[in-house]
């Protein structure tokens, strides 16, 4: 219960904080402070329990199917860390209250601050690894938001992104790692995993899992070579740096390493990966820290270096080293946080953090200076301060390392060197800021800040001193339960004494002290602007360059991976389809069927010789002679419909023919709007070589595809008939479908639902065409009338034939005579179409053909009579027709519900009608009527939409006609 | 008969696909209609070929499936024809609009750079 | 008599009637038409939810057994066309309705006015989608594909304009070609097996002779290619990012589910044909590697894109690839998590398309160019250590704060970061994949996991870059939002959160769906009550 509360409190606080007004600085501070303090107190109150029972658990079932529950688990180690997170949080909140300026929108700050606290506690208290990985990412996100708190600053934005990308990527790697780990251990629960040490280390995936988890931990703890993000995270407000980037978040990595130490550590891989990274970081970062100009920069690199120290300790595969690591985690948090606070104070009071400009602040702010000095001393590892103790332990470990000889020599030397560095930068930090001549021309006149701002730093420094002098009484027991929690029974005996007698570690410390002092005195009295030896290496530049390279390469690549050209896409589709279709044939092989083939009729052959030539002609002519191409296509269509007649498909023939006519007319209407193009252009600029190649490629592909389809067709045509579903339709057409024309019965009854969808498509397309053309204006150069319509007196074709007079009985002009016929034709067409509609059920015909016939008639009216005249004479409401069509089709279907049977069940009525003979009236007829009306409506709607373009074009002309 | 029809389908499809791969909108629309013919014939052929046996029941001869050709593919072709008609019309209009808005009849809305 | 038996037809019928009626009142009567459209969509949502409950047995189903069959025209399968409602279909219906409702409400704020006939086309799109999810007949599936495609043509062109028409033309051309291939495939399958009913198909395939089987496989492969085009698998997806990027945002939002129709169809056929060994595109290594390549291509696109809408398009591709790879993975244990991922990613991308439109609204395009050149030349305002902190921060106006949060949530969802359902989905997928070996080579699990995590990383990199550019561009004006725009987006995101918090139950349901899906026999015997009915022996 208490556990849940600890975790929930910060998140609730964060929610609350987000909704306070943006100027409520005090309210926010009180809220955050209360939350943090409350959490701290709860954690403290849990100490006896943890000390007694060892581990507290709490679990709520979440996703059993995935083998994860929401579970919290607090042992000594987790407890110490939780205390660190909450306690440090409390102090930083107090500090932040005075640090943030009144103009800052603090709700955002405190909301994310508390959210981070919650996420961090989540990592610490998670009872299973997946949950831990979740909170892990959450801390990255929260830190992103906090670094970018002043998002109007470029460096803040970049720093935030760098941190997010690096730690986020690490988090993903970690997720992968724990997935493997959980799979190996047979469960993601922490206890399960911790119990499966041998299994894990024996498993073939162990190196992979280790690598991924190390990736996560090292990125998070800013270890070499992923360290570069941390210095840039310093763009964050100082409280954030003090809290996230020195005390807590960057410790998550080492926390994880320590957490999984029992199961992962002890192997060579572990030593080299973790220890190696730690050692490099320790030395390199220490070296870099010396040369920083920004106070926070120094602290950032020293943080990295100290994290390196901790990582190295963890990598040493020795329990005592682990103890030292945990101890140093705690110590580092105390002194580094207080140093950050000091830096913030200096920044706050003087307006700069530049070491070059700062000097002699001791007189102005003695208290700050004293605190900073003590903390810095702890960082340098001066005796009687906590830093000294853990550093001694570290030195001792490096000496007694259980490794080959040379490593036993290299390591202590490196350690001492790093010690020298840390002494040097600590000295520089203090000396340049607080001593020397009084600084001139600072942005602000320095003076002590308010007491409250000093309090947190003061408390931390006190902790440093107390721990440094009386380790056993203060930190001793806490450290013990923490280390016992990790090491269990195997926890080594150790003594936290200040004085271990004159021994090698002490000598190393002394060497580090002297060396560091000399280093500073001799080389760094006047530091150079840049870092000697390493100036080339600049994490930021490399990162930016990587980012840029990534983006540009990617956009270069994607242009090739998915080219924007339609031809490439169609090519890809055809090629893939062809290849895929060939695959089974080639792998399994196939032979023609055994069905006796019907003898080829020469007339039929001739028909298709013509048809084939037409098709090829279209392909040949479509570019330069559109009209010709259209006519040839018509020829091919004709051949198709004749084939239908030939092979006993009268309905198809009829429909194909009707469609043919309408389509052609529509295309003719549309042709007018395409740009002129004729052979002469082609002659002028003949196709280039690449064009020819491309054409050749396309010809080949097309040929192969065509042959393939032909092959498929023949393969099926030559197979014996299958006893499929078709006999049913033929047998039942009359008895159950009540119609003789089986095709029509299928269309309107057996598979009426298809037709239902099909007419919907027609309707949709009509709507689309209408919607599109309503907005559309033709291209200016195609506005002038086509040559055919121009009179002799208007060469440029911008004067039209005498505007059609709506009142006229007949359209005037050169189309007078045809118009007469066409007008007479209209009523006949109407009759014919109705006739086809009604007989459809028993003889070739049906609603669709009927509808098309009527539509064609209307179309002719337009072509011949001209829009103005036609619309003056007959009102057509295509939309209404369509709606009625759809409704009656749907109605015919719904009607069946009344008889309790499903949609589209036919309800029949037989009767005799004069002149049409025996007639079968039924819901089916209503359905077909719906088809009829919709076809008329849709076709006419499209026609009107297209035809009206010419009107538009002409109307545009008087108004300048400019595009 | 079968072989002729198959070859016809092949020819239509081949010319259609070639046109689909060309850069001018008009070529594409022509290609679509040719390919449409090919596909319709193909579907139709799936019912095997019979002449003189239209699937219109002759009450005198009765409804013996052996007497009539397979009606199902014909029904499918009818649907296909209608949908083909609709989509052709649509593409035609889009083609006009593209020509109007982009000032060219190239399928990519701009002339390909001459190499 | 029992009216509930007609429930399965409503998802098709309601939108059709709504569309028809929406054509009657003149376009100026916005309120009335909006009310009609909303009512229709809500009804669909209710119906879908009821069906969902029925297939799960929480509400007594209007039919016996888990799977509901509705024989249109009262013709028995395999002769007539049947609608089949199983768990998967119900999930897709509900998902469609939810997404549709959100995008519809959003579009009512402004986009509906961008052109004519938006609302009817929208309803007809829903009709097509629902029909495609419900139908149990191969050719009828084609018809409904056409319905939804035709409507989508109309919607993609909605608002017209040069870029839309250009992208739309490509979209249309590609899909017309795909439809022709579909026809060839369907016809071929009929010609070989003599049936169109999917259930009977599954039975007849087993009894084909060698040649017949080969021909059938050719047909099936072609069918698979068509579905892959719809699903946006590489290299059949060049059109997708541009079409989605050019379409009006709410349209793009509802299109988030279009690619999943292809995935659905693939899955449906794959499971029906699994017993007789489904050919290449329907499963196995082919599908798996296609998925991986698609993920890779999509991620490259995500990294390279310079505009958020493009990124969104490529993210759709990535999610499709993820699903394809998951279904191609050996064993059936990935299906459940994959369905979970599908739902979450559809909701997320839907919300994303809308939120980026709101965020980029009234923002100067020049800002982008500036930012690009800044990045290109590594220029930045030089950072110094001289930041007197008193300069203070910049308060973020409420609208921006809201957009920022929702955008952030979408990013988490789409890149699979905690705490949203995106994370749960990816985690479940990878966990399942790791657990599959030894049935599948370990390599596959590794590639799969790597692909998922890396694609997430790519998304994070790109979106943090562009997101910062859009949201922290200090020069930008605050967009004006309306509640009916903000509301739906927020709801979609919250749904994803619920999906994550309730991962236990939802995951269980998806597992059940996967299980019944892989039990093809149940489907067959539900559609053809008498085992092997209609097979004239």
**What pLDDT is stored for residue A912 in this prediction?**
66
**What pLDDT is stored for residue A780 in this prediction?**
54
What is the residue-wise DSSP string for A721-772? PP--SHHHHHHHTTTTT--SBHHHHIIIIITHHHHHHHHHHHHHHHHHHHHH
Q: Which of C508, C145, C82, B37 has its CA nearest to residue A636?
A: B37
pLDDT in tens, A440-485: 878 888 888 888 889 999 999 999 999 999 888 888 888 988 998 8
Tell me the average pLDDT of chain A.
84
Q: Write down the residue that tokens 């100290």 correspond to.
A: A306
A279-283, C160-164, C242-246: the lowest-pLDDT one: C160-164
Tokens of C411: 């990013």
**What pLDDT is stored for residue A140 in this prediction?**
93
**What pLDDT is stored for residue A812 in this prediction?**
54
Q: Which of A586, A673, A636 has its CA nearest to residue A953?
A: A673
- H or E, element range at A71: strand A68-74
Nearest to B20 among C139, C168, C177 (CB): C177
Q: Is B36 on the interface with C (CB under 8 A)?
A: yes
| Model confidence at A211: pLDDT above 90 | yes
pLDDT in tens, A486-509: 888 777 888 888 887 778 888 898
Taking an 8 Å cut-off on Cβ atoms, the answer to whether B42 and C184 are in contact is yes
Taking an 8 Å cut-off on Cβ atoms, the answer to whether A643 and B20 are in contact is no
**What pLDDT is stored for residue A953 in this prediction?**
54
- CA C144 to chain B, closest CA, distance in angstroms equals 11
The 3 state secondary structure assigned to A151-205 is CCCHHHHHHHHHHHHHHHHHHHHHHHHHHHHHHHHCCCEHHHHHHCHHHHHHCCC
Q: Is A490 on the interface with C (CB under 8 A)?
A: no
- Cβ burial C516-537 (10 Å sphere, 16+ → b, else e): bbbebebbbbbbbeeeeebbee
Residue of C nearest to A236 (CA): C389
Residue of C nearest to B95 (CA): C169
**What pLDDT is stored for residue A421 in this prediction?**
92
Strands A68-74 and A56-63, bridge-based pairing: antiparallel
- Distance from C-alpha of A943 to C-alpha of A937, rounded to nearest angstrom: 10
pLDDT in tens, A48-91: 999 888 889 999 888 887 888 899 999 999 999 999 999 999 99
Taking an 8 Å cut-off on Cβ atoms, the answer to whether C386 and A351 are in contact is yes
pLDDT in tens, C107-134: 888 787 777 888 999 999 999 999 999 9
Residue of B nearest to C147 (CA): B83
Q: Is C188 on the interface with B (CB under 8 A)?
A: yes
**What pLDDT is stored for residue A528 in this prediction?**
58
Best residue in B27, B30, B83 for a mutation probing chain C (most C CBs within 10 Å): B83
Q: How far is CA A133 from the centre of its chain?
A: 19
**What pLDDT is stored for residue A304 in this prediction?**
94
**What pLDDT is stored for residue A526 in this prediction?**
56
Q: Is B62 on the interface with A (CB under 8 A)?
A: no
pLDDT in tens, B6-65: 999 999 999 999 999 988 888 899 999 999 999 999 999 998 888 888 888 888 888 788
pLDDT in tens, A710-768: 999 999 988 888 888 888 888 888 888 788 888 888 888 889 899 999 999 999 999 88
pLDDT in tens, A6-60: 999 999 999 998 888 877 788 888 999 999 999 999 999 999 999 888 889 999 8
Sign of CA dihedral A141, A145, A146, A151: positive
**What pLDDT is stored for residue A778 in this prediction?**
57
Taking an 8 Å cut-off on Cβ atoms, the answer to whether A730 and B41 are in contact is no
Residues of chain A found within 8 Å of residue C280, distances taken between Cβ atoms: 580, 583-584
Strands A917-922 and A908-913, bridge-based pairing: antiparallel
| Model confidence at A601: pLDDT above 70 | yes
- CA B48 to chain A, closest CA, distance in angstroms equals 5
Provide the pLDDT confidence category of residue C404 given band limits of 50, 70 and 90: confident
Taking an 8 Å cut-off on Cβ atoms, the answer to whether C435 and A183 are in contact is yes
Burial of A787 (0-12, 13-18, 19+ CB in 10 A): exposed
Residues of chain A found within 8 Å of residue B21, distances taken between Cβ atoms: 567, 570-571, 574, 698, 701-702
Q: Is B53 on the interface with C (CB under 8 A)?
A: no
Q: Is B100 on the interface with A (CB under 8 A)?
A: yes
| Model confidence at A624: pLDDT above 50 | yes
A29 to A12, A90, A179, A219, C433: CA distances (angstroms): 15, 10, 40, 32, 47
| Chain pair A-B, CB pairs under 8 angstroms | 332
- CA B31 to chain A, closest CA, distance in angstroms equals 8
Per DSSP, the three-state class of A72 is: strand
Tokens of C520: 């093809």
Q: Which residues pair with C71 in a beta bridge?
A: C82
Q: By the 8 A CB rule, do A598 and B51 touch?
A: yes
Q: Identify the chains in contact with C, defined as 3+ C-beta pairs within 8 A.
A: A, B
**What pLDDT is stored for residue A880 in this prediction?**
87
| Model confidence at C536: pLDDT above 50 | no
Taking an 8 Å cut-off on Cβ atoms, the answer to whether C160 and A897 are in contact is no
| Model confidence at A182: pLDDT above 50 | yes
Q: Mean of the pLDDT values across residues A575-588?
A: 89
Q: Which residues pair with A354 in a beta bridge?
A: A294
Provide the pLDDT confidence category of residue A950 given band limits of 50, 70 and 90: low
Q: Is C375 on the interface with A (CB under 8 A)?
A: yes
Residues of chain C found within 8 Å of residue B20, distances taken between Cβ atoms: 173, 177
Nearest to B35 among C166, C180, C188 (CB): C180
pLDDT in tens, A396-424: 888 887 788 888 888 999 999 999 999 99
Tell me the average pLDDT of chain C.
85
Q: Is C497 on the interface with A (CB under 8 A)?
A: no
- Distance from C-alpha of A461 to C-alpha of A456, rounded to nearest angstrom: 9
**What pLDDT is stored for residue C537 in this prediction?**
34
Q: Is A544 on the interface with C (CB under 8 A)?
A: yes
The beta-strand segments (E) located in C19-151 are 68-71, 82-85
**What pLDDT is stored for residue A462 in this prediction?**
93
Q: Mean of the pLDDT values across residues A177-187?
A: 91
Best residue in B44, B94, B98, B110 for a mutation probing chain C (most C CBs within 10 Å): B94
Q: By the 8 A CB rule, do A524 and A424 touch?
A: yes
Tokens of A353: 């953090």
| Model confidence at A935: pLDDT above 80 | yes
**What pLDDT is stored for residue C533 in this prediction?**
43
Q: Is B104 on the interface with A (CB under 8 A)?
A: yes
């Amino acid at each position: 219960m208490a556990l849940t509360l600890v975790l929930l409190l910060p998140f609730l606080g964060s929610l609350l904080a987000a909704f306070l007004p943006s100027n409520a600085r005090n309210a926010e501070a009180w809220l955050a402070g209360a939350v943090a303090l409350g959490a701290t107190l709860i954690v403290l109150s849990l100490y006896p329990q943890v000390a007694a029972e060892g581990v507290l658990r709490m679990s709520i079932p979440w996703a059993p199917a995935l083998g994860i529950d929401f579970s919290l688990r607090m042992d000594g180690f987790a407890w110490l860390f939780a205390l660190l997170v909450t306690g440090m949080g409390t102090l930083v909140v107090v500090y932040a209250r005075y640090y943030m300026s009144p103009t800052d929108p603090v709700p955002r700050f405190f909301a994310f601050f508390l959210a981070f606290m919650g996420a961090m506690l989540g990592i610490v208290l998670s009872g299973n690894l997946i949950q831990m990985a979740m909170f892990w990412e959450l801390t990255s996100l929260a830190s992103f938001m906090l670094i970018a708190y002043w998002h109007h600053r470029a460096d803040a934005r970049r720093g935030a992104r760098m941190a997010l990308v690096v730690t986020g990527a690490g988090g993903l790697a970690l997720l992968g790692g724990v997935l493997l780990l959980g799979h190996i251990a047979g469960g993601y629960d922490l206890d399960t995993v911790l119990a499966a040490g041998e299994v894990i280390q024996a498993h073939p995936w162990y190196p992979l899992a280790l690598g991924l988890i190390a990736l996560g931990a090292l990125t998070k703890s800013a270890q070499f070579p992923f360290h570069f993000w941390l210095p840039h995270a310093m763009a964050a407000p100082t409280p954030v740096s003090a809290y996230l980037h020195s005390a807590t978040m960057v410790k998550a990595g080492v926390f994880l390493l320590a957490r999984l130490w029992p199961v992962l550590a002890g192997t060579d891989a572990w030593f080299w990966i973790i220890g190696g990274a730690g050692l490099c970081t320790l030395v390199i970062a220490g070296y870099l820290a010396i040369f920083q100009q920004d106070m926070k920069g120094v602290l950032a690199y020293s943080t990295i270096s100290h994290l390196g120290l901790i990582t190295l300790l963890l990598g040493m595969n020795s329990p005592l080293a682990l103890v030292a690591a945990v101890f140093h985690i705690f110590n580092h948090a105390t002194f580094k946080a207080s140093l950050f606070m000091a830096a913030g104070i200096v920044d706050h009071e003087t307006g700069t953090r530049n070491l070059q400009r700062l000097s002699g602040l001791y007189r102005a702010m003695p208290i700050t200076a004293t605190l900073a000095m003590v903390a810095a001393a702890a960082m340098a590892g001066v005796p009687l301060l906590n830093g000294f103790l853990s550093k001694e332990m570290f030195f001792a470990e490096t000496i007694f390392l259980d490794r080959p000889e040379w490593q036993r020599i290299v390591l202590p030397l490196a350690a001492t060197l790093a010690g020298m560095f840390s002494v040097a930068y600590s000295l520089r930090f203090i000396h340049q800021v607080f001593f020397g001549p009084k600084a001139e021309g600072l942005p602000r006149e320095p003076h002590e800040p308010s007491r409250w701002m000093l309090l947190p730093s003061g408390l931390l420094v006190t902790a440093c001193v107390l721990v440094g002098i009386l380790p056993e009484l203060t930190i001793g027991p806490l450290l013990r339960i923490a280390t016992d929690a990790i090491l269990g029974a195997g926890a080594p005996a150790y003594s936290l004494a200040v004085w271990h007698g004159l021994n090698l570690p002490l000598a190393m410390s002394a060497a580090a002290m002297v060396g560091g002092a000399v280093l500073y005195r001799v080389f760094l009295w006047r530091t150079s602007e840049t870092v000697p030896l390493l100036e080339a290496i600049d994490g930021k530049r490399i990162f930016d360059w990587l980012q840029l390279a990534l983006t540009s390469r990617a956009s270069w690549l994607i242009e090739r991976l998915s080219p924007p050209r339609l031809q490439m896409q169609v090519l890809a589709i055809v090629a893939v389809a062809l290849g895929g279709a060939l695959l089974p044939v080639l792998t399994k092989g196939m032979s023609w069927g055994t069905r006796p083939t019907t003898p080829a009729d020469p007339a039929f052959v001739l028909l298709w010789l013509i048809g084939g030539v037409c098709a090829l002609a279209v392909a040949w002519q479509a570019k330069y002679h559109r009209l010709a191409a259209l006519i040839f296509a018509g020829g091919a269509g004709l051949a198709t419909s004749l084939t239908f007649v030939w092979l006993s498909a009268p309905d198809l023939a009829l429909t194909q023919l009707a469609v043919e006519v309408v389509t052609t007319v529509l295309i003719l209407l549309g042709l007018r709007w395409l740009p002129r193009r004729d052979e002469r252009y082609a002659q002028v600029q003949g196709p280039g070589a690449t064009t020819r190649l491309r054409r050749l490629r396309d010809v080949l592909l097309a040929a192969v595809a065509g042959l393939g389809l032909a092959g498929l067709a023949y393969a099926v045509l030559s197979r014996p008939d299958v006893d499929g579903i078709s006999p049913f339709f033929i047998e039942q057409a009359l008895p159950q479908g009540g119609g003789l024309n089986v095709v029509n019965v299928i269309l309107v009854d057996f598979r009426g639902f298809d037709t239902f969808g099909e007419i919907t498509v027609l309707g949709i397309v009509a709507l689309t065409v209408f919607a599109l053309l309503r907005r559309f204006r033709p291209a200016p150069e195609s506005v002038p009338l086509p040559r055919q319509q121009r009179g002799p007196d208007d060469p440029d074709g911008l004067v039209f034939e005498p505007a059609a007079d709506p009142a006229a009985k007949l359209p005037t002009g050169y189309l007078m005579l045809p118009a007469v016929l066409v007008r007479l034709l209209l009523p006949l067409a109407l009759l014919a179409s109705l006739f086809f509609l009604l007989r459809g059920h028993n003889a070739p015909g049906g609603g669709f053909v009927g509808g098309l016939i009527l539509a064609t008639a209307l179309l002719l009216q337009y072509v011949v009579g001209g829009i103005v005249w036609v619309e003056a004479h007959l009102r057509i409401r295509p939309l209404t027709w369509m709606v009625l069509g759809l409704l009656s089709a749907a109605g015919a279907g719904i009607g069946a519900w009344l008889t309790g049977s499903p949609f589209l069940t036919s309800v029949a009525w037989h009767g005799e009608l004069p002149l049409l003979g025996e007639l079968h009236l039924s819901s089916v007829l209503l359905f077909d009527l719906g088809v009829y009306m919709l076809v008329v409506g849709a076709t006419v709607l499209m026609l009107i939409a297209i035809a009206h373009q010419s009107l538009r074009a002409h109307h545009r002309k008087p108004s300048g006609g400019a595009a | 008969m079968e072989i002729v029809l198959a070859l016809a389908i092949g020819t239509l499809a081949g010319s259609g696909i070639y046109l689909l791969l060309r850069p001018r909108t008009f070529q594409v629309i022509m290609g679509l209609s040719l390919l449409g013919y090919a596909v319709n014939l193909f579907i139709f052929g799936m019912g095997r070929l019979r002449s003189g046996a239209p699937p219109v029941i002759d009450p005198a001869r009765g409804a013996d499936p052996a007497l009539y050709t397979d009606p199902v593919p014909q029904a499918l072709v009818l649907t296909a024809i209608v949908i083909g008609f609709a989509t052709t019309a649509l593409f035609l209009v889009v083609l006009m609009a593209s020509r109007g808005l982009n000032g060219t009849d190239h399928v990519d809305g701009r002339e390909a750079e001459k190499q | 008599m029992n009216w509930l038996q007609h429930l399965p037809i409503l998802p098709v019928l309601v939108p059709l009637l709504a569309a028809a009626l929406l054509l009657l009142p003149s376009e100026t009567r916005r309120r009335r038409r909006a009310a009609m459209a909303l009512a229709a969509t809500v009804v669909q949502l209710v119906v879908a939810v009821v069906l969902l409950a029925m297939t799960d047995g929480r509400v007594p189903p209007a039919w016996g057994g888990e799977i509901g069959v509705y024989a249109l025209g009262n013709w028995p399968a395999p002769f007539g066309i049947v609608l089949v409602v199983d768990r998967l279909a119900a999930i897709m219906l509900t998902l469609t309705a939810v997404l549709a409702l959100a995008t519809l409400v959003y579009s009512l704020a402004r986009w509906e006015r961008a052109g004519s006939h938006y609302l009817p086309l929208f309803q007809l799109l829903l009709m097509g989608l629902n029909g495609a999810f419900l139908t149990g007949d191969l050719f009828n599936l084609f018809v409904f594909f056409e319905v939804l495609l035709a409507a989508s043509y109309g919607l993609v062109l909605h608002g017209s304009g040069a870029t839309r028409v250009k992208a739309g033309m490509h979209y249309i051309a590609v899909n017309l070609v795909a439809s022709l291939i579909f026809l060839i495939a369907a016809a071929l399958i009929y010609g070989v097996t003599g049936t169109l009913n999917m259930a009977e198909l599954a039975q007849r395939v087993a009894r084909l002779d060698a040649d017949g089987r080969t021909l059938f496989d050719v047909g099936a492969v072609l069918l698979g290619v068509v579905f892959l085009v719809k699903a946006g698998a590489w290299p059949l997806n060049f059109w997708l990012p541009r079409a989605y990027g050019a379409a009006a945002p709410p349209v793009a939002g509802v299109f988030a589910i279009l690619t999943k129709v292809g995935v659905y169809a693939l899955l449906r056929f794959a499971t029906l044909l699994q017993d007789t060994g489904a050919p290449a595109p329907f499963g196995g290594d082919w599908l798996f590697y296609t998925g991986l390549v698609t993920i890779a291509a999509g991620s490259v696109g995500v990294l390279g894109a310079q505009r958020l809408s493009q990124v969104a398009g490529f993210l759709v591709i990535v999610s499709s690839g993820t699903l394809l790879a998951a279904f191609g993975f050996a064993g059936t244990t990935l299906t459940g998590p994959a369905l979970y991922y599908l739902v979450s990613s559809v909701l997320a991308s839907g919300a994303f398309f809308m939120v980026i439109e709101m965020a980029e609204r009234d923002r100067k395009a020049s800002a982008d160019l500036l930012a690009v050149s800044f990045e290109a030349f590594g220029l930045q305002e030089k950072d110094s250590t001289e930041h007197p902190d008193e300069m203070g921060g910049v308060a973020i106006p409420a609208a921006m704060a809201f957009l920022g949060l929702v955008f952030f949530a979408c990013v988490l969802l789409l890149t699979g970061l905690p705490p949203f359902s995106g994370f749960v989905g990816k985690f479940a997928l990878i966990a399942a994949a790791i657990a599959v070996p030894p049935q599948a080579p370990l390599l596959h699990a590794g590639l799969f996991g790597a692909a998922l995590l890396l694609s997430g990383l790519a998304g994070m990199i790109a979106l943090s870059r562009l997101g910062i550019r859009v949201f922290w561009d200090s020069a930008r004006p605050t967009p004006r939002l309306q509640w009916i725009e903000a509301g739906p987006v927020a709801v979609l995101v919250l749904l994803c959160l619920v999906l994550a918090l309730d991962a236990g139950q939802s995951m269980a349901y998806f597992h059940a769906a996967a299980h019944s899906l892989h039990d093809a026999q149940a489907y067959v015997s539900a559609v053809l009550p008498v085992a092997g009915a209609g097979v004239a022996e």
